[in-house]
Amino acid sequence: VTAAAPLLFVDAAEVVTCAGPAAARRGAAMADAGVRRGVAVLVRDGRVAAIDAPAALRRDHPDATVVDCAGGVLTPGLVDSHTHAVFAAPRAAEHELRASGVGYLEIAARGGGIHRSVRDLRATPEDTLVADAVARLAVLPRHGVTTIEIKSGYGLSLDAERTQLRAIARVAATIPQRVVPTCLAAHEVPLEFRDRPDGRAEYVRLVAEEILPAVARERLATFADVFCEPGVFTAAEARTVLDAAAAVGLGRKLHADELHDGDGAALAVAVSATSADHLAAISATGIAALAAAPTVATLLPATMLFLGRDRQAPARPLIEAGAAVALATDFNPGTSPTLNLPLVLTLGVSVLHLSAAEALVAATVNGAAASGLADRTGQVAPGYDADLALWGVPDHREIPYWYGAPPCTATWVRGKLVTP
């Protein structure tokens, strides 16, 4: 690998660098995506080596292989920091059911929703889970994505969570993109525990005392996550699980305040979570908590759109309060069946009222921070992995503009070309 010639990216109309500290951009700093014109980018040994005037880089590196950006926009590869991309089957019937007026929690109470995906996953061989996920994720270069977080949470038993996390590890070893694995054993109380009088507490104990320690021991996940929502896990139960995660060295994430305010944002801050995700129903207190903490607010507007809800996370109040906002797809078979992160950027602008620069920062440097990778990816800056996306448009504002049809022409992961 080290013997490969350097790459010199020339003739980009803009290079969106997002360069700066190895941390999420917060508040007003989100508006600066570090857009540069008239520069070339040198990549050596899979990393960004320099950004400078094209003539100087050509002179100093005559051995470099020239990559013609053809007047397009070069950005950091996008980071999708919240997905459930390994699953057994789609849930198209629920899409119609919701449209007819049946609610999300009602569908769950009828054994649909997450329970359905649990049944499906437990009945599916690991090889099939891997092959199906790899096939689905082949679309990532078309969306400019070079890093993707993937959660378990459709196993909900020690064995089935292990199977799902092993499948995620095998996907990670197969696809060219970087994968961040998260254990979401606390996604739902499995039906076999719901029927028992003390079943909820027993399941929380199982997750905290057996599943997370095993997952950490076997290095199957970087993060643990909990679905904190009325009818799923309470803030107190989520706290038990996240404290157990910290005790075994796992990072913390939280599905927080999605449909109802349950003090999820404050809990995420209290346990030093790397991210608090969803937040469509966050309170003013929750906004203030996130504004004063490193925890990234990860917003998932495609989910609320697909659920047919009017309510969206208060992105502007979060940014104006000084919080760090990330955008992700929430790709999953029930409530957000899309890997189209540029479409989420469109929603970021049209629905959440971000600027194009804020939306790009949210899906690059801030997505990287939400994945614990702020020092590795999400910036076009010397020393960073050469995770890049090239877009066939002359202006970065056209990336969220081409609604549903992202103009990405190529990506590079650690300097290696990955095309659609």
Residues that bind Zn ion (CB under 5 A): 330
Smallest distance, Zn ion to C-beta of residue 200, A: 20
When the beta carbons of 254 and 271 are compared against Zn ion, the nearer one is 254
When the beta carbons of 154 and 193 are compared against Zn ion, the nearer one is 154
When the beta carbons of 151 and 170 are compared against Zn ion, the nearer one is 151
When the beta carbons of 114 and 410 are compared against Zn ion, the nearer one is 114
Pairing outcome for strands 35-36 and 14-16: antiparallel
When the beta carbons of 257 and 330 are compared against Zn ion, the nearer one is 330
Smallest distance, Zn ion to C-beta of residue 103, A: 18
Smallest distance, Zn ion to C-beta of residue 151, A: 6
Smallest distance, Zn ion to C-beta of residue 296, A: 15
When the beta carbons of 130 and 328 are compared against Zn ion, the nearer one is 328
Smallest distance, Zn ion to C-beta of residue 173, A: 23
When the beta carbons of 85 and 169 are compared against Zn ion, the nearer one is 85
Smallest distance, Zn ion to C-beta of residue 333, A: 11
Smallest distance, Zn ion to C-beta of residue 324, A: 19
**Of all residues in this chain, which one has the CB nearest to Zn ion in the complex?**
330
